[in-house]
Structure 1
Amino acid sequence: MSKIFQNIEIPIDQDLEEKLQWLMPEHGPYRILRQSVDARRSHSPHFVYSVEVAEKGETLNIPEFDLEKINKPQDRPLIVGTGPAGLFAALRFVERGVPCVLFERGSDSGERIKGINQFWRYGKLDTRNNVCFGEGGAGLYSDGKLITRIKSPHIPYVMNRLVQFGAPAEIQWLSNPHVGSDRIRRVIPKMREFLKANGCEIHFNTQVTEILFEGKQVAGVRTEHGTEFKSPHVVLATGHSATDMIEHLHEAGVHLDGKSFAMGLRVEHSQAAINKIQYRQFSEHPKLGAANYKLAHHNNDTGIGVYSFCMCPGGYVLSSGTEADGIVVNGMSNYNRNSPFANAAIVVSIDHGKNFGKDTFGGMKLRRELETRAYQAIVKQGGSRELPAQNLMDFLYGTNSKTGPRALRAGSSPSGALNVRLDELLPKEMRNRIREGFENFQRSMKGFLTEDAQVYGVESRTSCPVRVTRNEESLQSISHAGLYPAGEGAGYAGGITSAACDGIRIAEKIIELIK
């Protein structure tokens, strides 16, 4: 019978197998359940493991997540969007024997990258193929991080299937699992081919422009080509940037609610500096790799939180807007995390009720306003595709240094950057809260505030400011039966893993109705 050893501490210059030999001298095969790095002790960063170990001569029972197929699928569910929620809903359907239809406004990932590169290099935006739209959704080009705070029984299944399609095996046990933007682009096509071979009909370059209703019941969808697809089950997984779909739902009378969200900037340091802060004298140890961080500050007087989000060690700052006259920043890392820079969003929580009252679209309006202002600031500087950036200390003190140690320096963005007064571009309250957060972060990470760092704007797509409200039990819209809002765009997820799990939950709810 296997044994589970938890919280095994291994110094960075020692080996896990040696420790297991001491704990269980006559052991058989083992598997890592969880691995993390603990660098809190100043004298010795170390790895922390949880491990399942079999007795000698025994084998481990590795879960394969075999799924029962249903025998009589009826109407094919329709899925709008090929982000994590849509792809994993489709995967669950076909593995359970349910044919389905998947729609994507953009192209497959091979064509999508061409549009993205054109935008980064020349400022020519393809409104269908960009960092937010196209096969794989926003997560495909936003680092491939699989970190999640949710507790879902579907997480092991998600990780297992990603590994089957080519993701690195360690995502199943690392505390901060990461595929990398370069590797996840190779995972998605394999997933696509599996779906097509097992009963999923996929339509690329096919935007769903209308959800069809018969009274308060979903009847299907209509595409931009005028083609109608009938089904009483529509999974809406359009992502956090499909404002046109949100507007259509509003016009159709679907119940929507304004949702609290977060906005701010993205800060970039040298990765060497972050390594030094986190790992001190061990910062160049080859086993430790690129260090990350997670920071948060809550003001008890205002009730407003400032926190880091989507931290990208060894990463790049990306231009990721979806409108030609707006600028959005995001971040990513490749699998090896070998860029000389580290970046993270630093965002302010925005309470919908306090800031916008009954205006459902108040958050959408603010998002659009700041993205447009960022673009106009770049045009005013004579640019077109560059990102607005400012030295971190200039942002903190409200100054504008064009020369000297605070002058804007070459960073990681493939679009380049121009010096813009981001401290003046942001609303006063947001700017002040971010400054307060930076000063607080300096206390927990000595060296975080430095003239060698700079900020980029605006980080505005952390989540959708509007929720397509659904019933907690049925997962259907509270106003229109058969409409299943899913993932980030509907307001029910906050990353690749949570969106994937949400898509799976919805697929299972639909299967309960049709089997």
Structure 2
Amino acid sequence: MSKIIQNLEIPIDNDLEEKLQWLVPEHGPYRILRQSVDARRSHSPHFVYTVEVAEKGETLELPEFKLEKIENPKEKPLIVGTGPAGLFAALRFVERGVPCVLFERGSDSGERIKGINQYWRYGKLDPRNNVCFGEGGAGLYSDGKLITRIKSPHIPYVMNRLVQFGAPEEIQWLSNPHVGSDRIRRVIPKLREFLRANGCEIHFNTQVTEVLTEGTQVVGVRTEHGTEFRSPHVVMATGHSAEDMINHLRDLGVKLDGKSFAMGLRVEHSQASINKIQYRQFSEHPKLGAANYKLAHHDNKTGIGVYSFCMCPGGYVLSSGTEADGIVCNGMSNYNRNSPYANAAIVISIDHDKNFGDDVFGGMKMRRELETRAFNSVVAAGGTRELPAQNLMDFLQGTNSKTGPRALRPGSSPSGALNIRLDELLPKHMVTRLREGFEKFQGSMKGFLTEEAQVYGIESRTSCPVRVTRDDETLESVSHKGLYPAGEGAGYAGGITSAACDGIRIAEKIIAQL
């Protein structure tokens, strides 16, 4: 019978198999269930494993997640959006024998990248194919990070299916699983073809413009082409940037609530400096790779938190807006994390009730205003698609160095950057809190504050500031039966994995009715 060994510490120059041989002589096959790096300053870095080990002569059965198919489903569910929530809802449907229809305003991932490259190189925005819209959703350009804080029985299934479609096997056991934006672009087409081969009808370049209702019962959708699709089950998984759909749901009378969110800047260091801070004299050890970090500061007086978000080791800072007159920044890294730069969002919490009261769209308005302000600052500086950026120490001290050690560096952004006073672009209260956070982070990571670092603006799409309110049990809209708000855009997820799990939960609720 197999046994689980937890918290197994292995120095970076030692071998896991040798340790197991010493602990469990003549053991059978084994598999890693979890792997992380412990690099705290009290000792040299080492790996920490949880391992399942079989006895000699035994085998380890890998989970297959076989799903029972239902017979003769009554209707075809409709899914709007091909981000993680929409794709995994569709996957669950077809694996359970339920045909479905999937709509995406943008193109497939192969065509989508062409539109993104046009924007990064020439400033020509394609409103359908950008870092937030198109097949794969925003998750396709967010580093392929699969870290999640949720506890869901669907997480192993999500990881298993991603591996089945080409993701690296280690995402099933690493503590910080990561596919990489380059590899996830290979996974999505295989998932798409599996869906098509198993009963999912996919419509690209087809924006859903209207949800059809009879009273408060959803009965289908109408697309921009005037075509109607009928179904009493509509999964709304349009992502955190689909303001047009949020506005349509508001006009339809769907119950919406304002939601707290976070905004701020993205800070970029050299990856070598982050490695040195985290791994010290071991920073160039080949087994350790690119170091990451996680930082947080909570002000007890104001209740405002400042924290790092979407940290991208060996990554790039991206211009990722969805409107022609707005600028947004985001981060990503490829599987090998081999860029010479490290970046992370540093954001402050925006409490909806304290800041906007009864104005459901207060957060959305604030987001839009700051994105437009960022764009106007770039245009005023003679740019088009560049990101506004500032030396980190200049941001802290309220200065603007154009020459010397604080002059703006080329950085990792494929769109380039322009030297702009972000300390003047952001509201004063945000600047104050961000400065406090940076000073606190220096205490946790000596060397974090340096003239070699710079900040980019504006990091405003961490999550949607509006929630489409749904019933905790049925997962339907509380005001419109048959409408299933899903994923980040509906306010019920915060990343690829949690959005995928949310899509699966909704699919299972609908299947129970079919």
TM-score of the pair, normalised by structure 2: 1.00
Tell me the secondary structure at the aligned position of residue 89 of structure 1. Answer: helix
Q: Which amino acid aligns with 1:469?
A: T
1:427-451, CA deviations, whole angstroms, 9 ceiling, x for partnerless residues? Answer: 1111100000000000000000000
Find the aligned partners of 1:404 and 1:340 in 2 and give their Cα distance.
21
- Report the equivalent of 1:98: 98
Find the aligned partners of 1:481 and 1:37 in 2 and give their Cα distance.
47
1:476-502, CA deviations, whole angstroms, 9 ceiling, x for partnerless residues? Answer: 000000000000000000000000000
Find the aligned partners of 2:91 and 2:479 in 1 and give their Cα distance.
27
- Report the equivalent of 2:255: 255
- Report the equivalent of 2:460: 460
Tell me the secondary structure at the aligned position of residue 55 of structure 1. Answer: coil
- Report the equivalent of 1:115: 115
- Report the equivalent of 1:321: 321
Q: Is this contact kept in 2: 1:220–1:228, CA < 8 A? A: yes
Is 1:151 matched with 2:151?
yes
- Report the equivalent of 1:201: 201
Q: Which amino acid aligns with 1:20?
A: L
- Report the equivalent of 2:368: 368
Is 1:164 matched with 2:159?
no
Find the aligned partners of 1:496 and 1:403 in 2 and give their Cα distance.
41
Is 1:228 matched with 2:228?
yes
Find the aligned partners of 2:478 and 2:406 in 1 and give their Cα distance.
52
Q: Which amino acid aligns with 2:97?
A: G
Is 1:14 matched with 2:14?
yes
Q: Which amino acid aligns with 1:27?
A: H
Cα distance, 1:456 vs structure 2: 0.1
Q: Is this contact kept in 2: 1:356–1:363, CA < 8 A? A: yes
Alignment of 1:7-406 (within 5 A): 7-406=7-406
Q: Which amino acid aligns with 2:392?
A: L
Cα distance, 1:43 vs structure 2: 3.6
Cα distance, 1:42 vs structure 2: 4.1
Displacement over 6 Å in runs of 4+: none
Find the aligned partners of 1:286 and 1:355 in 2 and give their Cα distance.
47
- Report the equivalent of 2:487: 487
Tell me the secondary structure at the aligned position of residue 488 of structure 1. Answer: helix
1:49-107, CA deviations, whole angstroms, 9 ceiling, x for partnerless residues? Answer: 00000000000121110000001211100000000000000000000000000000000
Find the aligned partners of 2:41 and 2:60 in 1 and give their Cα distance.
34
Q: Which amino acid aligns with 2:266?
A: R
Q: Is this contact kept in 2: 1:76–1:100, CA < 8 A? A: yes
Cα distance, 1:141 vs structure 2: 1.1
1:139-167, CA deviations, whole angstroms, 9 ceiling, x for partnerless residues? Answer: 00111000000000000000000000000
Tell me the secondary structure at the aligned position of residue 28 of structure 2. Answer: strand
Alignment of 1:382-461 (within 5 A): 382-461=382-461
Find the aligned partners of 2:113 and 2:384 in 1 and give their Cα distance.
20
Find the aligned partners of 1:284 and 1:59 in 2 and give their Cα distance.
38
Q: Which amino acid aligns with 2:283?
A: S
Cα distance, 1:296 vs structure 2: 0.3
Cα distance, 1:244 vs structure 2: 0.1
Q: Which amino acid aligns with 1:24?
A: V
Count, aligned residues:
514
Q: Which amino acid aligns with 2:243?
A: T
1:271-326, CA deviations, whole angstroms, 9 ceiling, x for partnerless residues? Answer: 00000000000000000000000000000000000000000000000000000000
Q: Which amino acid aligns with 1:53?
A: V
Tell me the secondary structure at the aligned position of residue 166 of structure 1. Answer: coil
Find the aligned partners of 2:299 and 2:361 in 1 and give their Cα distance.
26
Q: Which amino acid aligns with 1:488?
A: E
Find the aligned partners of 1:15 and 1:480 in 2 and give their Cα distance.
57
Find the aligned partners of 2:323 and 2:482 in 1 and give their Cα distance.
31
Q: Which amino acid aligns with 1:230?
A: R
Unaligned stretches of 5+ in structure 2? none
Q: Is this contact kept in 2: 1:42–1:280, CA < 8 A? A: no
Unaligned stretches of 5+ in structure 1? none
Find the aligned partners of 1:320 and 1:68 in 2 and give their Cα distance.
40
Find the aligned partners of 1:72 and 1:101 in 2 and give their Cα distance.
16
Q: CA RMSD in A?
A: 0.4
Find the aligned partners of 2:23 and 2:273 in 1 and give their Cα distance.
38
Find the aligned partners of 1:68 and 1:218 in 2 and give their Cα distance.
28
Percentage of pairs with the same residue: 87
1:200-238, CA deviations, whole angstroms, 9 ceiling, x for partnerless residues? Answer: 000000000000001000000000000000000000000
Tell me the secondary structure at the aligned position of residue 494 of structure 1. Answer: coil
Cα distance, 1:41 vs structure 2: 3.5
Q: Which amino acid aligns with 1:212?
A: L
